[in-house]
Structure 1
Amino acid sequence: MIAFHGRLGFRQYLPAKPTKYGIKVWMRADSENGFVNEFQIYTGKHGDTNQHQQYGQSTRVVLELTKKIENRHHIVNIDNFFTSYELLSILIRRLTYARGTTRSNRKEFPAAILHPKCVKNQGDLKVLQRGQIAAYAWKDKKTIFFLSSADDPRENGLQVQRRQKDGTQRQVPSPSVVQHYNLKMNGVDKADQTRTEYPTFRMCKRWWTYVFYFLLDLSIANAYILMKESPNHQLETKSGRRKERSLLDFRMKLAKLLIGNYRMARKRRRVSNKDLHGIGHWPKESVKRGRCKNCSKNRKRSDVKWECSGCAAHLCVKCFEEYHKNQ
């Protein structure tokens, strides 16, 4: 979510998100480092020209974001908003596999494992398979449902510790799909964390400036990940050990490269009654105290209440003659 509270036709309200109002962005990110491969800004309902218009929104978004990795046998980990039997079936035909938590009211989800008696106790598991797609119902603190075309339902998972009501710890068996999903599902979270750590965000009334700052931070985050993983850009200590590159150091060096030697001069007070003919230069008492210009040139600090009536420069009485001779 790109935070924005102004008026906008495609602004979204998602009460479950930390950023409740704003512009929604769909993302596909690398599960290892959070590098954003694809993203799509949601601007409302698509027109009839879209090739995936016959599908629902959740299916259409995943198909569009995974178009460039078709026929490469990649595995996509998706959220329960997107996971459906229809989506996994289409991805299989495109040689792409997927896993994710799902909602129990999804179309074509097997009703046989929805009954509460299927998984009574913590750690119970029920699996049904149709073709290459397996549906899971696993009892943790509550029943969690999965759909996966990337896992073998016969594979045993690890044991996880769960605290009981009496305070003791108990080893609970969990299926392999849970382990793989928990390990690989946080790619977008990593991307958001890197992007928002040192943001360039500024308040504005125009919605497109928020999108610009989002794109700028996203570009910097992706560049940082590429440089961090590049074998030709590794940092080393004096003893030859590998040193981790920090995001703050990367941003500081990037800013210096972009700015170069440019330095904005300090704004001076505009003098409208400056005497250009060299007459009328008399010391007078100023309204505010200021630094003596002649002392500042000699790297001394002297706050005075006198200024020149002709050039409006704060000057000591002893520096008055020397300053005007140099001018």
Structure 2
Amino acid sequence: MPRDRFDKLSQYFHVNDSTTNLPRDDPGYDRLHHVRPVLDIVKKKCLENYKPHQNTSVDEAMIAFRGRLGFRQYLPAKPTNYGVKVWMRADSENGYANDIDVYTGKKGDEHNAQYGLTTRVVLNLTQDIANKNHIVNIDNYFTSYQLFEVLKQNWTYARGTARSNRKGFPSSLLHPKCVKNQGDIKIVQKGKTAAYAWKDKKNIFFLSTADDPTENAGQVKRRQKDGTQRQVPSPGVVEKYNIKMNGVDRSDQTRTAYPTYRMCKRWWTYIFFFLLDLSISNAFILMKESPNHRLMTKTGKDKDRSLLSFRMNLSKQLLGTYRATRKRRRVSNVDPFGGGHWPKESEKKGRCRRCSKDKKRSDVKWECTGCGAHLCVFCFEKYHRGSEFNWQCT
């Protein structure tokens, strides 16, 4: 696509009618009004087109953006520091994004308004899998005893790392002598919720309603100061958490492998391209798992599908019969004006047609009034009296 054509399409590209949004001081004002139709469609299709596995993960993703925006976030621990924060629930097995929620800052939330922000985020993203015995894996930003109790009432289990200063966390695990040496484990339980304290290089805490506290402890390898490897005992929840928590990270890897976004001054276009890349990554996962779209080798073995080939085939289907090259004007010996062939100054420069025959490049601002060909002044007569036409000008 030519640059000017892309710039013109970007100039007039819109998703929603801005005049239909309510005033900023109205309680019903929508900060995502510019992209709301596409956002609602993508969320609906992500929920409808895939039945998630038992384990799912909830985490935050970032849409890179450094412009001026009221709800732009700064997260120094993320690879993308500045941008729009998106809460996401993704499948732990393959990274399929089941549900998303764009964070637009502090605001009133009628649904689950009695809870804090982190609890509301997890409850809103998991309401479609409530009462189905799913397991939600979260990090210490979301983990709290209150959240686990509410999820348990909805027949949804959870596991995650915990912060020691969260309300409801057992104080008996916070004593300095609770776990002193590397590999020490301490577990306490209240109802169906188990709290873990594990000494690795530092104290690490877990909460879980999805694991058996009496399960045999596992082991992890740790390098010592002398360079040797040592097997360190660890709770069973550690290995499961490390395996099942990476759903959102896997979704980000697939989504950002071949991004489609381009630089723009309008903030909502970055969200649009994020939704486009998310839809493509989800479609790729669906096709990989579909039994009707398996790739086979010549020997009859299963062949892995490439993300690059999938995106190339998808782009060809979307383009259809579109011709990317410019159509050249056909040179005709018919004079549309009936005034003969005379040189005139053209609006845009073009390559001399006679010099091109000799494999020379010459950009000129003169063209013929009769046939419309760009020609040098010195090539004008040679072109019209040469072998290009089987006739002579009058």
Q: TM-score surpassing 0.5?
A: yes
- Of the candidates 140, 154, 157, which is equivalent to residue 97 of structure 1? 157
Deviation, 1:209, is 0.2
Per the alignment, residue 277 of structure 1 pairs with 338
Q: Is 1:4 aligned to 2:65, yes or no?
A: yes
Q: Are 2:368 and 2:375, in contact at CA under 8 Å, matched by a contact in 1?
A: no
Distance 1:231 1:115, change over 3 A: same
Distance 1:290 1:174, change over 3 A: same
RMSD across aligned positions (CA): 2.7
Per the alignment, residue 94 of structure 2 pairs with 33
Per the alignment, residue 23 of structure 1 pairs with 84
Deviations 1:180-206 (A, max 9, x none): 001100000000000000000101111
Q: Are 1:162 and 1:170, in contact at CA under 8 Å, matched by a contact in 2?
A: yes
Q: Mapping of 1:125-274 within 5 angstroms?
A: 125-266=185-326
Distance 1:289 1:85, change over 3 A: closer
CA distance in 2, matches of 1:289, 1:112: 82
Q: Mapping of 1:35-114 within 5 angstroms?
A: 35-47=96-108, 50-114=110-174
Deviation, 1:124, is 0.4
Distance 1:117 1:303, change over 3 A: same
Residue 123 of structure 1 aligns with an amino acid whose one-letter code is: G
**So what's the TM-score if we normalise by structure 1?**
0.89
CA distance in 2, matches of 1:229, 1:140: 38
CA distance in 1, matches of 2:274, 2:344: 54
Deviations 1:60-96 (A, max 9, x none): 0000000000111000101110000000000000000
Deviation, 1:289, is 8.9
- Of residues 260-269 and 250-259 in structure 1, the stretch that sits farther from structure 2 once superposed is 260-269
Distance 1:80 1:304, change over 3 A: closer
Q: Is 1:320 aligned to 2:379, yes or no?
A: no
Deviation, 1:45, is 2.4
CA distance in 1, matches of 2:350, 2:209: 77
Distance 1:157 1:318, change over 3 A: farther
- Of the candidates 353, 359, 370, which is equivalent to residue 302 of structure 1? 359
Residue 92 of structure 1 aligns with an amino acid whose one-letter code is: K
Deviation, 1:55, is 0.2
CA distance in 2, matches of 1:220, 1:289: 40
Deviation, 1:10, is 1.0
Q: Are 2:296 and 2:303, in contact at CA under 8 Å, matched by a contact in 1?
A: yes
Deviation, 1:276, is 3.6
Residue 241 of structure 1 aligns with an amino acid whose one-letter code is: K
**So what's the TM-score if we normalise by structure 2?**
0.74
Q: Are 1:160 and 1:173, in contact at CA under 8 Å, matched by a contact in 2?
A: yes
Q: Are 2:143 and 2:162, in contact at CA under 8 Å, matched by a contact in 1?
A: yes
Per the alignment, residue 23 of structure 2 pairs with none
CA distance in 1, matches of 2:197, 2:241: 14
CA distance in 2, matches of 1:213, 1:233: 26
Deviation, 1:47, is 2.2
- Of the candidates 176, 180, 188, which is equivalent to residue 116 of structure 1? 176
CA distance in 1, matches of 2:286, 2:89: 16
Secondary structure in 1 matching 2:180 = coil
CA distance in 1, matches of 2:142, 2:181: 28
Q: Are 1:26 and 1:41, in contact at CA under 8 Å, matched by a contact in 2?
A: yes
CA distance in 1, matches of 2:99, 2:367: 63
